[in-house]
Amino acid sequence: MKKVVVIGNGMVGYKFCEKLREKASPSEVQLVVFGEEPVPAYDRVHLSDYFSNRSASALAMAGLDWYTSQNIDLRIGELVTSIDRENKIVSTYHGQKEKYDVLIIATGSSAMVPPINGVEKKGVFVYRTIEDLEGIIGYGQTVKKAAVLGGGLLGLEAAKALMDMELETHVIEFASRLMPRQLDDQGSNMLREMLQALGINIHMNKNTSSIRGNGKVKGLEFTDGSILNTEMLVISCGIVPRDELAKKAGIETGPRGGVVVNDQLQTSDPFIYAIGEAALHNNMIYGLVAPGYNMAEVVVNQLTGDGSASFTGNDMSTKLKLIGIDVASFGDPFGDNVPCKPIIFENKNQGFYKRINVSEDGKRLMGGVLVGDVSDYNMLRQIMQNGLALPPQPEDLILGSRGESSGDAIANLPDEAQVCSCENVTKGAIANIIKEHQLENIEQVRSCTKAGTGCGACSPMVADIFNETLKSMGKTVRKVLCEHFDHTRQELFDLIKINKIKHYDELLDRHGSGDGCETCKPAVASMLASIWNDLIVEQDTIQDTNDRFLANIQKGGSYSIVPRVPGGEITPEKLIVLGEVAKKYDLYAKITGGQRIDLFGARIDQLPVIWEELIAAGFESGHAYGKALRTVKSCVGSTWCRFGLHDSVSFAIDVENRYKGLRAPHKIKGAVSGCRRECAEAQSKDFGIIATEKGWNLYVCGNGGANPQHAKLLATDIDTESCVRYLDRFLMFYIKTAEPLNRTSTWLNKMEGGIEYLKDVVVNDILGIGEQLEDEMKYMINTYKCEWKEVVNNEGLRSKFRHFINSEEPDPTQKFDLMRGQKVPVA
């Protein structure tokens, strides 16, 4: 029987144990593991979650009982201090000695601490282990202001942790851009602007010379002479391979650290292997979990298989969520390795940046960068890795679905395409195991294949493969909301309504599992608002920033004020009030395409007092911040226009007032045009009404934006009463059946039978639910309340509108310039 000793019980050390036990029984291989920390291996990728749940067990890769069941001798809290290569013995700090036949060095890395004067002061921390986090949490309760040294991945994770602790947060980066290994200049700039809008202060090109303070941190001094006052410092400047044991034992290490290994992961001693962040392969230290897992698999093959497996490097593609902002890079993100042509699309209005690098002949995708919208990451990475043919216009890959559907794209992937890089799982393996074991849900797929259990970046593609495989087997696919609810959105919608559920936690306890996620929380909040018409601000624990403060957060961290102006009609008195408010609070004024006036530049603490004045003047919330009805645009119609057939302004006002506050899976826009000249652009809206000689034509499911779509004709030459009735049915049917964040156009595109089926449901009432939908709309109309009026008149809700939880002070970092006589955020 062979005896294998593992030094290190981190993620990679654990994965080695798991893979070894899959191939070799305890009677074949005796396994002893030494872990330096006092707890078994835990998930460092999601270390920041500890700040919200304070549970080490929630991060655990496996409990102690798993090691026992696998006959693995795990010794935690035991530091190995020496390796006797001649006698094949390891010794520990507590005097234990253990012989080995094969030794695995999986010691990982430690945080790099630069030699800064004063780094030993109280209040200086690194961000690496649960013990580090405990120290940060404890000290953070005594301060108000903290800084992170390092703007890489871990540095921004640390910044999120400090934000969660409600501390004023600063990030200091030596380089000229954030995440310099993953993002190019434009992508980094986009990320920086988004982080600043969330209230994080970013300081670029800063070289820290000393840490100020008498015994404890009071500030940072930089080489350019500037000073940043802070009471706490978290250092996250990179990693240092833990190779000290190997050096002491005379094993070859690299000049800049790391245990040198060959393609079989053997060190200079053939009986000793190194894996994970401790290993130096071809002068490369891999700081991601996926390469470490691949290394573990290669060594297991060397010990139990035919020895044919080898490690030849690893794709460094990665997808992350940083403080709610999605970031991804894949392949050659900067186009440095092979001559290529970049294609770049940046949308600052919607907050995303996309870059793909195409080979000079236009035939291959070489890499790319995504910030803000990473929905295409998995498919782009598969196209790159498998050398799939590009569309005739490669820009289609990032500009939108002008080509094949996601189902077609999945079908075109070869079976050998690696879907999960953490566990090295291919598309074919996933599809085959679904068919062989007749798997019925995503959790079963994850359990059987391990796909999606690492960093989780491949989860959307795993779900797509699952759905496509079930379709190929002739089975019905249920698109569940997320892993925490084994129900579709429509099923949850009905469960909420039938069981009169009013809160997210109640729904999760009764019909879900786990703690929820960023997919299901806002989706459920939207459903609760759509069904019960309760104040969205009272669900603020599961809402994004815009809904939490009933205002759109803008560049620089200020907010916009958007009163409702039904149909675009406004009295001179109300115009004067808007002007007076804008002047009093120094707000930027802009007339929008939706025929209303937006006021920009308000601080959080100013929002209630501004709205108090507007409500007193008769204004209501315009819901510009919500997934709700925004505007119903109109032309001047027959009232003024010589071509106008009907009074489009009055109808637009009636319709907007009827549906104001209506919450939906996505924003809704409408328009009413007084004749076929279409000055209100009704056919580019979610619903559009156009006057005819005999009445009105009703169009539905159009939209503008990045992927514009013309609305479809639902009913022709109908009277006003019929038009409103069909609109009631259409909107409630959409709210009831659409998936989260699907606009009406996307909803219709996915609907079997398309516009003809929708016409049958809404106009012909083939489902017999027309009256029910109308009654549901009546309930929404009768229970409507202006959200801002409710906040203004409720001291408890008003108290939420301040920048700092422990101070009434405004945000001191907001700065503005002048442009054409009005203020704008500092660039």
Q: Annotated binding site for [4Fe-4S] cluster, which residues?
A: 635, 641, 675, 679
Structure tokens at 668: 């809704």
Provide CB contacts within 8 A for 218, sequence distance 6+.
Answer: 212, 229, 230, 231
Q: In what order do the strands lie in the sheet with 124-126?
A: 124-126, 233-235, 145-149, 168-172, 201-203
Residues belonging to the binding site for siroheme are 679
Which residues line the annotated binding site?
Answer: 635, 641, 675, 679
The pair phi, psi for residue 90, each rounded to 5°, is -110, 145
| Residues 230 and 170 sit within 8 Å (Cβ to Cβ) | yes
Residues 6 or more apart in contact with residue 59 via CB below 8 angstroms:
42, 43, 46, 47, 49, 50, 130
Q: CB-side exposure of 230: number of CA atoms within 13 Å?
A: 26
Establish how many alpha carbons lie within 13 A of residue 377's alpha carbon, considering only the half-sphere containing its beta carbon.
27
Q: How far apart are the first and last CA of the chain?
A: 67
Strands (E), 503-578: 559-561
**What single-letter DSSP state applies at residue 251?**
-
**Distances 56 to 134, 599, 680 between C-alpha atoms, Å:** 11, 46, 57
In degrees, rounded to 5, the angle at the alpha carbon of residue 306 between the alpha carbons of residues 305 and 309 is: 85
Phi-psi region of 518 (alpha: psi -120 to 50; beta: other; left: phi over 0): alpha
Tell me the pairing of strands 102-105 and 272-274: parallel
| Phi, psi angle pair for 122, to nearest 5° | -65, 135
Query: d(Cα 111, Cα 129) in Å, to the nearest integer?
Result: 10
What single DSSP character describes residue 739? P
Rounded distance between C-alpha atoms, residue 556 and residue 816, angstroms: 8
The amino acid occupying position 424 is N
* Burial classification of residue 795, based on how many CB atoms lie within 10 Å of its CB (0-12 exposed, 13-18 middle, 19 or more buried): exposed
Q: Is 91 left (phi over 0), alpha (psi -120 to 50) or beta?
A: beta
DSSP state, residue 478 = P
Identify which of 158, 155, 253 has the alpha carbon closest to the alpha carbon of residue 204. 155
Q: Determine phi and psi for 443, rounding to 5 degrees.
A: -60, -40
Q: At residue 121, what is the residue type?
A: K
What distances in angstroms separate CA 150 from CA 155, 327, 333, one per listed residue?
5, 17, 21
Distance of CA 680 to the CA centre of its chain: 35
Cα dihedral sign, 737-740-746-750: negative
Torsion sign, CA atoms 465, 467, 471, 474? positive
DSSP state of 166: T
Distance CA 295, CA 304 (A): 14
d(CA 422, CA 293): 6
Handedness of CA 722, 659, 530, 598 (dihedral sign): positive
CB-CB contact of 689 with 678 (8 Å): no
Whether the Cβ atoms of residue 348 and residue 339 lie closer than 8 Å to each other: no
Cα 529 to Cα 440: distance, rounded to the nearest angstrom: 31
Residue 30 backbone phi and psi in degrees, to 5: -85, 135
- Angle (CA) 372-406-326 rounded to 5° is 15
**C-alpha dihedral sign at 783, 789, 794, 796:** positive
Residues across the chain: 827
